[in-house]
Amino acid sequence: MSIDFYKSLEISGIGLAGVFIFMTIFYFVSTLIDKMFPPEEDEE
């Protein structure tokens, strides 16, 4: 296997972990924003 193959494996590991970290952060952020600004408050 070429060196690029091993590099692509490494990038895949980091990249997949990275996208999960991103989405987990977005999950917490969206939950937090939703809790901080409920629709009732908006209407007031």
CB of 35 to another protein, least distance (A): 9
DSSP state of 35: H
Q: Does 44 interact with another protein (rule: CB under 8 A)? A: no
Buried b (16+ CB within 10 A) or exposed e, 22-32: eeeeeeeeeee
Q: Does 42 interact with another protein (rule: CB under 8 A)? A: yes
CA atoms of 35 and 38, how far apart (whole Å): 6
CB of 17 to another protein, least distance (A): 10
Contacts to another protein from residues 16-35, by CB under 8 A: 16, 18-27, 29-31, 33-34
